[in-house]
Amino acid sequence: MSDKIVKGLNITKEYNGVPVVKNIDFWVKKNQFLTILGPSGCGKTTTLRMIAGFETPTTGQLFFEGKDITNTPPYMRQINTVFQKYALFPHMNIYENIAFGLRINKLNEKEIASKVSKMLELVNLSGFEKRSIHSLSGGQQQRIAIARALVNEPKVLLLDEPLGALDLKLRKEMQIELKNMQRELGITFVYVTHDQEEALTMSDKIIIMNHGEIQQIGSPTDIYNEPENAFVADFIGESNILEGIMIRDYLVQFAERDFTCVDKGFGDNTPIEVVIRPEDIKLVAPEEGLLKGIVKSVVFKGVHYEMLVKEADRTWMIHSTTMEQEGTHVGLMLTPDDIHIMSKEG
Amino acid sequence: MLKKLASGPYLFWIAMFIIVPILMILFFSMVTVESDGSYTFTVSNYVRAFDPIYVTVLLRSLKIAVQATLICLVLGYPMAMILAKMDPRYRTTAVMLFVVPMWMNFLLRTYAWMTILGKNGVLNGILSFFGLPQMTFLYSEGAVLLGMVYNFLPFMVLPIYTVLMKMDKSLIEAAEDLGGNKKTVFTKVVLPLSLPGILSGVSMVFMPAVSTFVISNLLYGGQYMLVGNLIEQQFLVVNDWHFGSAVAMILMLLILVSMAVMNKLGGSGVEEKGVNLW
Amino acid sequence: MVNKFIRRFYTFLIFGFLYAPIAVLAVFSFNDSKSTAKWEGFTLDWYQSLFSNNYIMKSLYYTVLVALIASVVATIIGTFAAFGLFYMKSWKQKAILNVNSIPILNPDIVTGVSLMTLFVALNVNLGLLTMIIAHVTFCIPYVVLSVLPKLKQMPGEMLEAALDLGATPWYAFKKVIFPEIKPGIITGALIAFTLSIDDFVISFFTTGNGVSNLSIAIYSMARRGIKPEINALSTLMFLTVLVLMLILNKRTKIEEI
């Protein structure tokens, strides 16, 4: 038996003939923390809603533990969702909200009470049973929404931008808590977000989507270090992306110079794009650098300085823990593994 | 599923009892029945509606409805302002007392005027008490107009009152602060801001006034007085449903056109009533 | 000071205008004569003859019966309709709501004659059934318009959340959607009930067979001249409305505190 708990095959979703998700294939492994990442309107939420059963794919098939669930209604799926705006039932207190799914499964009151209190403990809100939804802060409501979904012991938990409405500090805390919960409970999480940092810190695997298509699937490190195209590189972190030509294997030309690199197999004299991470560029004395430029601006970003360096007609973004004054002449230093080659889009 | 099933009975109902009936009178208005029972399409029913006798009826309906609307506006606007400015302690009770007569049966309210204006009514009783000659108040255009104003005045006051209540008081203070005297504040700030309420009130008075046949039947008598009477007579007395349907279609068109004009004038208040045909 | 006096005087005049006819009816309902011009002494005869008037009593029964049935049916159909409309595509919803507003916009007389034409064409005898159908027809739009906003005010994805937690659509409607929109349903039902109680024009065209409601009874009696029983009826109805409004007013005041 395969350990792929959810699998999508050639899935397309159209609204009034306009495709929102275009022929995508994906799978989620058991106990995996999978994140679907992309800008708004990229089709990530639609994909999640199809897994939950709120939308039916226009074409394609969806499998859950090997069984076709393409047309199974949401209430017949062992999948639960944490909604972006929590979707807690306002006329029920916290206890009744969490007990909702248990009551449908006709558990007796004693079992319900014990499960609810265990869940409240898990989300650190013990003793909140009788409180009304309106008396809770956004962060607390989010925890109740998570408890309500988890109490049904789903095999897969779907989370639709669950931290989007929280402030930065709370978001960081919740990221760690969610990750811990997922490890402890051993439940598969499918997480949708537009925040690349969130995706990188929490996920085992990331699917990057844009315009309804999958751009790249891989582990956070793969995606960060080896973006497959300029969109991914740009979306995953601020990068320097340049037009270039692959002269032959291991030799690339950009910025009017030839550089040795570690990539091969693009074909001789092929136009490509080059991605260089801002933190990979080292600033050295002008005469030591491969390229020469002038520092145009310096901004302190908390842990590092972000500097813009003007070189010929290009501007390079450089992250460094040491600072150069504006107006300083500097040299830019690159090693072969700092240079990432991508085939051109389209 | 349920989402789709839920509106099923409703969709059937509105198709069957709203759309089909209107299509039927539209059809009836455009045909005549031949001697062998078959239908022929014709415009004669509509042409007949423009006979001078009927044009007079239509124009009279419009005239009385416009008069009733204007009188309600002139009487109602100050009343709405007074209610809006009233001490909150008395206001709820005052508004309630204002609404109570409106909740009483429409026919009883009209009937009340019959007992006052009638030949042996209260007014003539008072006149004879002072030894004055008897007069006929009932069965006149004036009586119909009075009946309309009496019945529909609350429809004018309430929407204007609501708008005035919702109005941001600081706007009036700002206008006063900027040196506007009472008259300028009213004409430049209060009146324009209450326009949605006025439009809503105007349409709520004009529409029932232009289409009524009850008030005219009771306070004027059973003649072809207003469009409403004409339609009623054609359907229930004369039995010419084709001509009756044509007049009904004309009345419907008239109402829809005046609604459209109201909405163009910026009547968001009209929309609040759930009217979004345009 | 002058201003205040004018305001009071004007209020007095308008309220006088509104209440004078009702007061006249009330006073003469106790008059020991058919006349409404001269006071001839106190009597309760008219009240007695009102309650022994078969026609009026039967009409009262039909009025209440029709209002109860029509408001219940309209509320059920209208509530489910609003639920279905809420989840419909927006252009479809708009188109249907336009049809929905036809009975609200259209003069009652046009609605009345068009329904009558339909019933006659279908060979249905005009009577209680046709009157109830007509009342349901003009009540449904108001129910839809009072329930739909409540659905729109509902926090997002309520239905999805319930389905996600294992609720069947029907269970989700009963346990999640219904409690949220209950105030709108009650408002809609009350509007439907009062509209039905008060209706004359549409009932007038869609009934027959000796079935009439109170409005029709008053109309046909009034057309034949002054009837002191109607004065008595008016007085009783006015008092009913007044008491109801006072209770309602008290209750809202208590809730405000």
The domains of chain A are located at: 4-225, 238-343
Q: Which residues of A touch C171 (CB under 8 A)?
A: 104
Q: What 8-state DSSP symbol labels residue C221?
A: H
Q: Which residues of C touch B100 (CB under 8 A)?
A: 238, 241-242, 245
Query: What pLDDT does residue C110 have?
Result: 94
Q: Which residues of A touch C165 (CB under 8 A)?
A: 75, 80, 100-101, 104, 148-149, 152
Closest-approach residue (CA) in chain A for C179:
A91
Q: Which candidate, B46, B6, B7, B51, places its Cα nearest to that of B25?
A: B46
Q: Which residues contact B17 (CB under 8 A, 6 or more apart)?
A: C115, C118, C133, C134, C136, C137
Q: Which helix (H) or strand (E) holds C33?
A: none
Contact yes or no for C158 and A100 at CB 8 A: no
**Residue C82: which CATH number?**
1.10.3720.10
Q: Is the distance from CB of A228 to CB of A235 less than 8 angstroms?
A: no
Residue type, B146: L
Is B10 a domain residue?
A: no
Q: Is the distance from CB of A123 to CB of A146 less than 8 angstroms?
A: yes
Contact yes or no for C80 and B106 at CB 8 A: no
Residue A107 contacts C where some CB pair is shorter than 8 Å: no
Is C113 a domain residue?
A: yes
Domains: count for chain C: 2
CA dist B151 and B208 (Å) reads 10
Cβ-in-10-Å burial (0-12, 13-18, 19+) of A36 comes to: buried
CA dist A30 and A28 (Å) reads 7
Question: Which chains, if any, share at least 3 CB pairs under 8 A with chain C?
Answer: A, B
Is C236 a domain residue?
A: no
CA dist B83 and A229 (Å) reads 69
Residue-range definition of the domain harbouring residue C39: 2-45
Name the residue facing B235 among C22, C113, C214 (closest C-beta): C113
For chain B, how big is the Rg over CA atoms in Å?
Answer: 23
Is B5 a domain residue?
A: no
Contact yes or no for B108 and C200 at CB 8 A: no
Query: What pLDDT does residue A268 have?
Result: 87
Name the residue facing B24 among C19, C111, C117 (closest C-beta): C117
Residue A250 contacts C where some CB pair is shorter than 8 Å: no
CA dist A277 and A239 (Å) reads 5
Q: Is the distance from CB of A34 to CB of A146 less than 8 angstroms?
A: no
Is C180 a domain residue?
A: yes
Query: What pLDDT does residue A2 have?
Result: 64
CA dist B201 and B149 (Å) reads 13
Is B39 a domain residue?
A: yes
**Residue B144: which CATH number?**
1.10.3720.10
Tell me how close the Cα of B30 comes to any Cα of chain C, in angstroms: 14
Q: What 8-state DSSP symbol labels residue A159?
A: E
Query: What pLDDT does residue B278 have?
Result: 26
- Is the sign of the CA dihedral A273, A276, A277, A278 positive or negative? negative
Do A4-225 and A238-343 share a fold?
no
Residue type, A200: L
Tell me how close the Cα of A153 comes to any Cα of chain C, in angstroms: 11
Residues in chain A where the model's pLDDT stays below 50: 1, 346
The maximal CA–CA distance of chain B, rounded, in angstroms, is: 79
Structure tokens at C81: 């309709």
DSSP helix, strand, coil percent of chain A (3-state; round to 5): 30, 35, 35
Tens of pLDDT along B24-81?
999 999 998 888 878 889 899 999 999 998 999 999 999 999 999 999 999 999 999 9
Is B202 a domain residue?
A: yes
Q: Which candidate, C88, C113, C81, C150, places its Cα nearest to that of B14?
A: C81
Is C243 a domain residue?
A: no
Q: Are strands A156-160 and B31-33 parallel, antiparallel or unpaired?
A: unpaired
Q: Is the pLDDT of residue B269 over 50?
A: no
Query: What pLDDT does residue A341 have?
Result: 84
Tell me how close the Cα of C179 comes to any Cα of chain A, in angstroms: 7
| CATH tag for A238-343 (out of 2.40.50.140, 1.10.390.10, 2.40.10.220, 3.40.50.300) | 2.40.50.140
For chain C, how big is the Rg over CA atoms in Å?
Answer: 23
Residue-range definition of the domain harbouring residue B63: 20-272
Domains: count for chain B: 1
Name the residue facing C165 among A73, A84, A101 (closest C-beta): A101
Contact yes or no for A90 and C166 at CB 8 A: no
Displacement of CA C207 from its chain's centroid (Å)? 17
Tens of pLDDT along B72-96?
999 999 999 999 888 888 888 888 8
Q: Which candidate, A207, A238, A241, A240, places its Cα nearest to that of A222?
A: A207
**Would you give the end-to-end CA distance of chain C in angstroms?**
33
Tell me how close the Cα of B25 comes to any Cα of chain C, in angstroms: 6
Tens of pLDDT along B176-222?
778 777 788 888 888 888 888 999 999 899 999 999 988 998 888 76
Structure tokens at C218: 């008053």
List per-residue pLDDT tens for chain C, 257 residues long. 568 888 889 999 999 999 999 998 888 889 888 777 778 888 888 899 889 988 989 999 999 999 999 999 999 999 999 988 998 888 888 899 989 988 988 899 999 999 999 999 999 999 999 999 999 999 999 999 999 999 998 887 899 999 999 999 889 989 999 999 999 999 899 889 989 998 999 999 999 888 999 999 999 888 887 788 888 999 998 898 888 888 877 766 554 43
Contact yes or no for A81 and C161 at CB 8 A: yes
Task: Identify any residues that bridge with A1 across adjacent strands, giving them in sequence order.
Answer: none
Residues C83 and C182 in one domain: yes
Query: What pLDDT does residue C253 have?
Result: 57
Instruction: Give backbone dihedrals phi and psi of A273, rounded to 5 degrees, phi first.
Output: -120, 145
Q: Is the distance from CB of C135 to CB of C203 less than 8 angstroms?
A: yes
Q: Which candidate, C237, C232, C201, C236, places its Cα nearest to that of C219?
A: C201
Q: Is the pLDDT of residue B139 over 90?
A: no
CA dist A319 and B125 (Å) reads 101
For the domain A4-225, what is the CATH code? 3.40.50.300
Tens of pLDDT along B141-182?
889 999 999 999 999 999 999 999 888 778 777 877 787 777
Tell me how close the Cα of A345 comes to any Cα of chain C, in angstroms: 36
Tell me how close the Cα of C224 comes to any Cα of chain B, in angstroms: 10
Contact yes or no for C163 and A73 at CB 8 A: yes
CA dist B202 and B63 (Å) reads 14
Is C108 a domain residue?
A: yes
Is C254 a domain residue?
A: no
